[in-house]
Structure 1
C-alpha cells in the first residue's frame, strides 16, 4: 500500500461483504440516491473513514490527525468543493462502517483485491505499495518470499500482508500492532513479519532497527499493492468524481509532493 497491518481479513471480509450488502440499502445519504452532488453538497462535507493510528498514512501528532491520507483526503475534498470530515475507526470495523453509511469513502492504505472488488468500488490507485519481509538480522535461512514456507510469520489481523504470507505457505499469526510484530521477531517468538516497505522505512526514521533486517519483495515475487479509495457499489458517481480529483492532483504535482513528504520518495506511480 506495499505502517501497514494494517482470523480475520479473509474470514472478516466474507462477513463484511454480507453486512455491506445488507446495510447498503440503509446507508448514508450519498448511498441512498447515488446522487453525490445533491447529498454531499447539502452536507458540505466528504466523510472519510480511516484508522488514524498508522504512520505515515494517518496518525496523530501532538494530538492532531495528520499523515499522507489525511492530507490527500483534504485535497480531494477541496477538489469537490467540500470539507473533509475524518472518522477514525478501528480496522476490524472500518469496511463494515462504509457499508452502513458511517462515511462516504475509506482512505486507509486499502489495496485492490478480487474479493473486495466483488462488493465495493475502488478509485484509481494513488500509490503503489511494495511489500517488505522483516526478519532477525542473524537469520540466514529466510532470504526471499519462497523461504516463508513453513515459517511462523506475523501480520496485522485481516491485512493483505497476511494474505501474502499464506500465499507463500507461511504460518500466519495475527498481530494488531506493528511494534508488537517487531518485538516478537527480536524475541524469537516469530520468524518474521510482512508489512509495507513504507511502514518499516518510516519506523526506521525514529527507531532503531537493531536486531532486524528487511527484504523488499521484487515485482516478480509479489507485485506492489494498488492502494485506492474504497466506495460502496451504489456510489459510482462519487467514485468517478474522486477519480477526476485524483487525476488533477497528479497532474498538478500534489500527489508526488505528498508522497515525497511522507515516504521520502514518489510511490504514486509504478
Structure 2
C-alpha cells in the first residue's frame, strides 16, 4: 500500500497497493536458505501536505517459506504477507485505523553464479471489506536482481501491480495499475551494514476519468543494520525528493526484524548473513 495511498487516495489520485520502499534492504533476487522465517516491518511517515500534515503508520508481518524443491532450475519459495495500518490521518483530520490487504505469493529464485541471483514473484492481494484503503483483488508481479558478493547487497526489485476489476466496491473506478522499484546498495562490515537506498513509484495511465491525476514519487535515504546471529535487524529513513499529486513530500522511518523460525543448518554457515526478504508491500 502506498505510503500515502491510504490517507490521500481519492477519485483524483491513487497510489500502489504494494508499499513503495517496503523491500529496501532485502536481496530480493537471491535465494532464501531453506527454512521458515518471520519478518516484521513497522514504519511511520509524515507527508507535509497543506494546510496540515498527513501521517501514516504501517505495520506488516510476513512468513516466508523456502523449500528444497526446484522448478525450472529455481528454488521454490512461498510468501504470506499481512498488513495493518494505524494512525492514518489526512491533512490534520481525525486518525482512522484498519487492516490492509493480505498477500499470498509464490516465488522462483535462480542462482546464476558469481553471487548473482534473479527472482520472479507472482502473488495476489485478497479482497477485504475493512473500508480502509484498497479493497479489490489485484495481482502483483515482481522481478528482482541481486549481487551479494564481498559483503555487498546490490538489489533492484521491480513491482508491477494489476487490478482485476476496473470498478471499486463502492462503484467508483478502482485504483490504477502501478509500477514501483526499490533500490538497495549496502555493504556489511562485520556484523554491521550500511549504505544508500532509494525507491520510486508511479501510477500507470488509465482511460478518460474526469478529475483523475496520476501519482508518482521518488525518495532517497540511508540504511543501517546489525546481524545478531541469527536474528537480523535493519533500520532506514527515506525522504521524497520529488512527488506528483501526493500533496507534499514525505519523510518515513522504517525498521525490520528478521527471525528464522526453522532453518536447514546445512545451508547456513555460522558467519553467513541471513538472506531473506519482506515482500509486498
Structure with a larger share of its residues in helix: 1
| Greater RCO (Cα-Cα under 8 Å, separation 6 or more) | 1
TM-score by length of 2: 0.24
TM normalised by structure 1 equals 0.24
Richer in strand (by share) = 2
